[in-house]
Structure formats: structure tokens, C-alpha cells
Amino acid sequence: MPQAQDVDAASDRLSGVAARTPLQPSGRLSAATGHQVWLKREDLQVVRSYKLRGAYNLLAQLTAEQRARGVTCASAGNHAQGVAYACRRLALHARIYVPRTTPRQKRERIVALGGDHVEVIVVGDTYDAASAHTRQDARNTGAVLIPAFDHPDVIAGQGTVTCETVDQLGRAPDVLVVPVGGGGLLAGALTWLSERHPGVRVIGVEPAGAASMAAAVGAGEPVELDELDGFVDGAAVRRVGEHTFAAVRAHGVELVQVDAGVLCEEMLDLFDADGIIAEPAGALAVAALRTLRLDGSGLSVVCVVSGGNHDVSRYADVIERALISKGLKHYFLVEFPQEPGALRNFLDHVLGPDDDITLFEYVKRHNRETGPALVGIELGEAEELPALMARFEASPLHSRKLDPDDPAFSFLL
């Protein structure tokens, strides 16, 4: 396991390579929580995430013989960008495997950062599938495997986020909130703080649909998740690392999970109110403040905004999930009589004055008396739902509300 001195050494190694990202106070979040909230802006890193720190720290320590063999890695996008940038700085060659779910924006950034020093290979539907191909590549070619999180030097590199934060703040924060995927950033924070500032409350935040660290803690060892929600692509890891879990087990940590809808609400607030473009994994730590219980008042709380490699084409999905999470967007299957005036009757007697139809899919069939329509309705206020349901009940239309856990709902998101 790495030690605090390894993190300090990594900090020296990264000087002039990784940016010293800003630590910014957040008036919005401070007012909402009653605490002094600070944002560690790793989304402003040269590769728009903290992943450069661990990748460079490992690559910079390779021997001449290892450098000659080249390197390979798997990544959902951010680690790959860190490896690409580091390889260009160190004149190394890398083969980088990414899953098909990696946004095009991240793939293009990998190539832009690495140039002729990287070869990007798209394979599999998850990070774990890409990782399996990387391991096979290393066995076949002798290339050095550069893990995204499960290596002592990677952990030490990620730990520099924490020691840099403390230096900028001028003291250790009362609470440090970090996102968790494979656990490298969390393990690095725990490694350094356990020796330098053991009184800091460290909270790890996982996606509710990919809580692999919580599963490992519950089982007493890293285990594979049976199901994995890939929406938070930068933190959707089916199994955490042996080294990262060892750090969590040795030092202990509080783990919480954030629902994708709540995460999307925070992503939009970061964008609209703060001008911060955070990817889903990048907003995890900040989103946790919506549900975290922090006793007392005036605590110094640092949240790591861990990445800003967000594909803007995904914002429609983010907005949709946020509206559903807020209770503003609802979907119904409505049986309409196939007769003139049916839609007008629906608009006049069911839809409220502030309600908006956002989706209406209906095909008239001449051999039936009724036909189903999929109707999406956005409310002016979430509290208006009971009144809408009452109007549906009073109307002659047969309808069924689609809840997020309904299998049919998966076709909408």
C-alpha cells in the first residue's frame, strides 16, 4: 500500500505537468447547506479530470526496458486522456482500449492529447470488457499495463488532489467528499489524510446503479456487481481494485450513493447557476450534498469536481432525468376512442392550464374502437400531479401512469 510520503513524492513529480487546479468557494452550496462549501475544480485540469495525476505518476517511473515495450490501458475516457497526455510528454507509445459507450467527445480528446503516441481501440460495451482486452494485449505483446485505479503509484498520484487542496485551504477541511468509481481517488485521499490529518471526515460517493465499493465493503473483498448502470460512465466500474479496497479497509470510509436523477439535477444547477460543465461522474460529490447529513453548522466542506469531459449531446438525457427526478415530467399510456374530438376533449378536461405535452405518439387504426397513445406531460409545479391524476380519473379515458421502475419506462430514457 502507498504511504503519505509516496503522495508527497508524486506531488513533486507532477510539478509543471498537472495543473494546480483552483479551490473555489461555492456561495450557492454554502447557502443551501449552512456550511462553508469549497469546490476542488479538477474539471479544469489540463485533461479535464484528475486522472492525469495517477497516470503520469506511474508512467514517469517506468524503467528504460519498460518504456521500450510500450504501454496499454483501458478506460471509460478520462484515464485514457491522462495516459495519452502523459505519453506525449514522456515520448511513450500507448494502445488505449475504450468501451463503445465512451462518448465520441472523449475519444476525440484522447487522440488530440496523445497525437501519434496513442492508438485508440474501441471494444466492448463496458469498462470491464475493455479492461479484459487490455490484459490480453499485455500478455500477448509485453506492453506495460497502466491500470486506471488499481496500482500503488496511480493511487499516490490521485492522492495529490487532497494534499494540494489542504495546502490551498491553509488547513485540513472538516469534510472531504470525493466521487468513487474504481476507488483510486478515494484511496489516495485516505492514504494521505490518515497520516497527515486523520481527523478529516472522508465521504465517498458512488452512483446508485454502480456501487461497487459498497458491495466490496459488504462482502469483505472486491466482488463483481451483477447489474451495472452505465449512465455515470466515468464511475461505472463493476469491480473495484484490490489495492483501492485495501486502502478503504485499512482506513475506513463513509460511503453514500446518489440516484441518477438527483445527479442530473445537480449537473444542471452547476451549469445554470455556476457555469460549471461537469460530466456525470464529475458532479457526484457535489450532488451528494443534496442528501448528506452534516451535523452542526459552518463546517468546511470540500467537494471534488472530478471531471468535465461531458458530451453536450447527452444534455437532453440529463434534462429529461432531472425533470423526472423533480416530479415535473410524467408519462402515461392513454386509450383514446378513435372518434373525432377525442384529443380536444383530453386537452380541455384533463390537461391543466400550466401543463405541457412534450410527447404524443399515436397511430390511428381503423379496425379498432380505441387506440393507445404514449403521452408525456410536463407540469408547471410538481405539486400539481394529484390534480392531474384526479382529472384523469374523472375522465372517460382509460390511462396508466408509467413509473420509473416500469419496464416500459426504459424505452423513454
Kindly report, residue by residue over 306-346, the tens digit of the pLDDT. Answer: 999 888 888 889 999 999 999 999 999 999 988 888 889 89
| Residue 364: predicted pLDDT | 67
As a whole number of angstroms, the distance between CA 189 and CA 178 comes to: 9
From 84-98, 156-170, 224-238, the region with the lowest mean pLDDT: 224-238
The two beta strands, 370-378 and 356-362, are: antiparallel
Average pLDDT of span 148-153: 95
Q: Is the pLDDT of residue 266 over 70?
A: yes
The most confident of 117-126, 170-179, 288-297, 400-409, by mean pLDDT: 170-179
| Residue 157: predicted pLDDT | 98
pLDDT band at residue 182, thresholds of 50, 70 and 90? very high
| Residue 366: predicted pLDDT | 61
Cell numbers given for 228: 451495472
49, 306, 325, 399: which one is catalytic?
Answer: 306
| Residue 99: predicted pLDDT | 86
As a whole number of angstroms, the distance between CA 246 and CA 237 comes to: 17
| Residue 363: predicted pLDDT | 73
| Residue 365: predicted pLDDT | 66
Torsion over CA of 226, 231, 232 and 238, rounded to 10 degrees? 20
Grid look-up 438525457 returns 317
Percent of residues in the chain assigned helix, strand, coil, to nearest 5: 45, 20, 35
Query: Burial, 188: exposed, middle or buried (Cβ in 10 Å; 0-12, 13-18, 19+)?
Result: buried
| Residue 305: predicted pLDDT | 98
Strand order across the beta sheet in which 398-402 lies: 356-362, 370-378, 329-337, 398-402
Amino acid letter at 279? Answer: E
As a whole number of angstroms, the distance between CA 304 and CA 217 comes to: 22
Taken in order of first residue, the domains within the chain and their CATH numbers are 4-50+155-320 (3.40.50.1100), 51-145 (3.40.50.1100), 327-411 (3.30.70.260)
Catalytic residue check, 51: yes
As a whole number of angstroms, the distance between CA 155 and CA 180 comes to: 13
| Residue 230: predicted pLDDT | 85
| Residue 104: predicted pLDDT | 80
As a whole number of angstroms, the distance between CA 291 and CA 261 comes to: 13
Global pTM value: 0.90
Cα 374 to Cα 56, 266, 336, 337, distances in angstroms: 51, 28, 10, 14
40, 51, 106, 329: which one is catalytic?
Answer: 51
| Residue 126: predicted pLDDT | 77
Share of the chain above pLDDT 70, in %: 98
Nearest to 7 by CA among 179, 146, 155: 155
Nearest to 78 by CA among 115, 113, 125: 113
Average pLDDT of span 106-124: 93
Cα 302 to Cα 105, 161, 180, 260, distances in angstroms: 28, 11, 15, 22
| Residue 403: predicted pLDDT | 83
| Residue 357: predicted pLDDT | 95
Kindly report the average pLDDT of the chain as a whole number. 93
| Residue 59: predicted pLDDT | 98
Q: Is the pLDDT of residue 394 over 90?
A: yes
Average pLDDT of span 228-255: 93
Of how many residues is the chain composed? 413
| Residue 131: predicted pLDDT | 87
Average pLDDT of span 357-370: 78
Q: Is the pLDDT of residue 109 over 80?
A: yes
- What does the pLDDT look like over 25-53, one tens digit per residue? 999 999 999 999 999 999 999 999 999 99
Cell numbers given for 366: 381503423
